Amino acid sequence: MAHVTSSDEGPVPSTPFGVPELVGAVAGARRVLDVGCGSGRLTVALARAGAEVTGMDTSAERLAEARRRAEEAGVPLTLVEADMGEPLPFADASFDAVTSRLSLMVPRDAVPTLRELRRVLAPGGRIATVVWAALPENPWFDAPREAVRAVLGDGHASFARAFGRLGDPADAERAHRESGLEEVAGQLLREHVPRADATEHWRLLATENAHFRRIDAALGEEERRAVVAELEARLLPYRTAGRLELPRTLVLVTASRPG
């Protein structure tokens, strides 16, 4: 199982995209498992909403960040280092709800993972997952990666290959149904991120997204100028009233374990 070692998140707003919807989808559940919890942005939001939350991730470093975030927020979290591609270290029916934000696209086939999530859910328990929608719905990410490809070559653009996997609501719904979940409903969540221009978008990506940070750090001045010029051209369709409005789209699926 390949592990994501860096964030696929774009510039991170104070309320990360999709978090309110995920918290709302499992509102009222007491024991919640957050799979691929990373640095705990969703995990802590769930705990703040009153749930007893367990966060699970393969990255000890991310779990340490989640622990710090929970301490700062003054909420308790149980954090477990475990792999969603393996049998989960939890008894059957241990949780009233399961969430996963931007991690279910990591396994090549999400169905075995979803079956495990169904097993640890109590009968009637709910699951809510989000992944990035397909690349054409996410030019904030697709355009800079393609600009890197055009200027630096394929070898520099082969990161985050899972981005867009399960990115069609019908595919994501099917995976949940095949795992034995019911009441499956998928929807797209949309927002636009405002940017002055490509220079600003590149600078923010290079600050806040680990993939672009790594690429930017290796660029000379000339190369950076060429990448940003290429990006400016690719973002032209999103220029409106003198600024950029870059679409970002998630697929949210909610489902439940048969009672």
Ligand X SMILES: C[S@@+](CC[C@H](N)C(=O)[O-])C[C@H]1O[C@@H](n2cnc3c(N)ncnc32)[C@H](O)[C@@H]1O
From candidates 54, 58, 129, 179, binder to ligand X by CB under 6 A: 58
Q: Is 1 in the site for ligand X (CB under 6 A)?
A: yes
How would you write the chain as a 3-class SS string? CCCCCCCCCCCCCCCCCCHHHHHHHCCCCCEEEEECCCCCHHHHHHHHCCCEEEEEECCHHHHHHHHHHHHHHCCCCEEEECCCCCCCCCCCCCEEEEEEECCCCCCCCCHHHHHHHHHHEEEEEEEEEEEECCHHHCHHHHHHHHHHHHHHCHHHCCCCCCCCCCCCHHHHHHHHHHCCCEEEEEEEEEEEEEECCHHHHHHHHHHHCHHHHHHHHCCCHHHHHHHHHHHHHHHHHHEECCEEEEEEEEEEEEEECCC
For ligand X, the binding residues in 61-80 under the rule CB under 6 A are 62
Return the number of the residue (61 or 183) whose C-beta is nearest ligand X: 61
From candidates 26, 45, 47, 84, binder to ligand X by CB under 6 A: 84
Return the number of the residue (171 or 208) whose C-beta is nearest ligand X: 208
Return the number of the residue (119 or 239) whose C-beta is nearest ligand X: 119
Return the number of the residue (103 or 256) whose C-beta is nearest ligand X: 103
Q: Is 21 in the site for ligand X (CB under 6 A)?
A: no
Which region, judged by CB under 6 A, interacts with ligand X, from 52-60, 71-79, 133-141, 220-228?
52-60
From candidates 32, 77, 97, 102, binder to ligand X by CB under 6 A: 102
Q: How many residues bind ligand X (CB under 6 A)?
A: 23
Q: Is 3 in the site for ligand X (CB under 6 A)?
A: yes
Residue 105 beta carbon to ligand X: minimum distance, rounded to whole angstroms:
9
For ligand X, the binding residues in 24-43 under the rule CB under 6 A are 36-39, 41-42
Q: What CA–CA distance (Å, rounded) separates 172 from 165? A: 9
- Interacting residues toward ligand X by CB under 6 A: 1, 3-4, 7-9, 36-39, 41-42, 57-59, 62, 83-85, 101-103, 106
